[in-house]
Structures are given as structure tokens and as C-alpha cells.
């Protein structure tokens, strides 16, 4: 059957097909694919921001589980101009916690959102949160903060947990490895105590010095 004057998008809509968000071949689809394959039901995200990636992860988990728990950590409205200036890759818009809650609530998942510095909120939340199947670290881009997040999530990890780090930059931030997760991930890979996989889908962004190549790294215990 041939439709010479009909766009593919218009045709699929007219036939009742709807493309799932998770089917986009971007770097986050690698996380949602892993959520499905692991049948993960408990997800933590550090750096929830507007909740778009959270929504995708929750929906992927709901394909395999009747109940899903999502714990999201961010500064939300506590973001300040000073904190923004410290982080070279920070996003300047800071949505409110309640706005993100309203975005995620229609999923029906158990949504727990925590406002403030993850260095404080992640350890404090251990009193009410269970161990996690998936942890996605995508908050501060400062290496010291990422290392703190890594330390603070350890009590949440069981033997099959997988931790994803966004912002793996092979060449650093214009050669600077004090930002991004690259230095930490490479150390974990060299330690032999963890299984480390740098996932293949790469986003390339133009920067004043050239091109920033962004990947996600997956880390789990051996």
C-alpha cells in the first residue's frame, strides 16, 4: 500500500498507532530498556529537574510491574544564582517540587520527591525509602558532588542494583575532569570491584572550545 502524499507521522496517527516516548533512540532510552529487562520497580533519580526522564522511567517500570516506587531528588525552588554559577553545565530554570509532583502523579506510581541538596536529602531519606533497583545520578555536574552522591546511595543498593551516571565526557569539560562523572567512573572500572559499561548512544553538543560528547555509564557490583 502506497500513500504518496501522506507523511509517515500523519499516516500512523490516522491508523491509530501511537509512538511510545521510550522508543526514541536517545541516550535515556538505554536506561528505560534496562528498566524493562531487569523488571525494575524501585527507581531513584538524583537530579529530577522537570521530571521528563522520571516520567519515562516510571512508565517503563509499569510495563513490567503492578506497583512502582519513584524517589526524586533535586534542589527544585532552592536553586540559587550562586549554585548555578558553580556548575558550568547547570540548567538555569528551576521548577517547583509541586509542579513536578503534578506532572508525575497521573502515572499512579508511588511518588516521593525531596527538595534540597542531595548531599543532605539522600542520606536523610534512608529512613523512609527501601533499597533501589535503579539509581540515576544526574544532578550536580561537579565531581565532588557526584562522588558524594555515589557514597550516599550505597545503603540503597542491593546485589543486582544498577547505577546510571549521566554526563560521562571522555574528554572532560574542555579537558577539565573536575566536572562530570568521567573520573569517578574510570576509577570504578579500574578498581575491578564494579562492572562498568559506557553506553554507546552519544549526544554531541557544540561548545566554545569544540564538541562535548555526552554518554551514560552503567555501574553495578561484580
CATH number at residue 135: 3.40.50.150
pLDDT over threshold 50, residue 40: yes
> Phi/psi class of residue 56: alpha, beta or left (left: φ > 0; alpha: ψ in -120 to 50)?
alpha
Q: How far apart are CA 125 and CA 116, in angstroms?
A: 12
Cell numbers for 140, please give them.
Answer: 550536580
Q: Is residue 17 included in any domain, yes or no?
A: no
pLDDT digits (tens, 9 = 90+) for 3-33: 344 333 343 344 333 444 444 679 999 999 9
pLDDT digits (tens, 9 = 90+) for 103-128: 999 999 999 999 999 999 999 999 99
Q: Is residue 209 included in any domain, yes or no?
A: yes
Q: Is residue 196 included in any domain, yes or no?
A: yes
Number of domains present in the structure of the chain: 1
Q: Is residue 149 included in any domain, yes or no?
A: yes
On average, the pLDDT of the chain sits at: 89
Enclosing domain of residue 95 = 22-221
Q: Is residue 94 included in any domain, yes or no?
A: yes
pLDDT digits (tens, 9 = 90+) for 165-181: 999 999 999 999 999 99
Q: How far apart are CA 216 and CA 198, in angstroms?
A: 6
Give the pairing type, strands 157-168 and 132-137. parallel
Among 4-8, 80-84, 207-211, the minimum mean pLDDT is found in 4-8
Q: What is the mean pLDDT of residues 190-204?
A: 96
CB atoms within 10 A of CB 86: 13
Split at pLDDT 50, 70, 90, the class of 94 is confident
Q: Is residue 77 included in any domain, yes or no?
A: yes
Q: Is residue 3 included in any domain, yes or no?
A: no
Helices vs strands, H then E, count in the chain: 8, 8
Helix, strand, or coil (residue 78): helix
Q: Is residue 150 included in any domain, yes or no?
A: yes
The confidence score (pLDDT) of residue 89 equals 60
Amino acid at each position: 500500500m502506497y500513500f504518496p502524499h501522506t507523511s509517515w507521522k500523519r499516516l500512523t496517527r490516522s491508523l491509530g498507532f501511537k509512538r511510545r516516548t521510550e522508543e526514541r533512540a536517545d541516550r535515556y532510552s538505554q536506561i528505560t530498556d534496562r528498566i524493562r529487562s531487569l523488571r525494575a520497580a524501585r527507581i531513584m533519580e538524583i537530579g529530577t529537574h522537570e521530571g521528563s526522564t522520571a516520567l519515562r522511567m516510571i512508565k517503563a517500570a509499569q510495563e513490567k510491574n503492578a506497583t512502582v516506587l519513584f524517589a526524586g531528588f533535586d534542589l527544585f525552588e532552592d536553586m540559587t544564582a550562586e549554585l548555578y554559577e558553580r556548575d558550568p553545565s547547570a540548567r538555569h530554570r528551576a521548577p517547583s517540587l509541586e509542579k513536578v509532583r503534578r506532572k508525575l502523579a497521573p502515572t499512579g506510581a508511588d511518588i516521593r520527591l525531596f527538595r534540597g541538596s542531595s548531599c543532605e536529602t539522600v542520606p536523610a531519606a534512608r529512613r523512609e525509602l527501601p533499597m533501589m533497583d535503579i539509581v540515576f545520578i544526574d544532578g550536580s555536574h561537579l565531581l565532588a558532588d557526584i562522588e558524594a552522591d555515589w557514597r550516599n546511595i550505597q545503603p540503597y543498593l542491593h546485589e543486582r542494583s544498577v547505577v546510571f551516571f549521566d554526563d560521562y565526557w571522555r574528554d572532560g569539560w574542555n579537558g577539565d575532569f573536575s566536572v562530570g562523572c568521567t573520573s569517578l567512573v574510570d576509577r570504578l572500572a579500574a578498581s575491578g570491584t564494579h562492572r562498568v559499561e559506557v553506553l554507546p548512544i552519544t549526544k554531541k553538543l557544540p561548545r566554545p572550545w569544540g564538541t562535548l560528547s555526552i554518554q551514560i555509564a552503567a555501574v553495578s557490583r561484580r
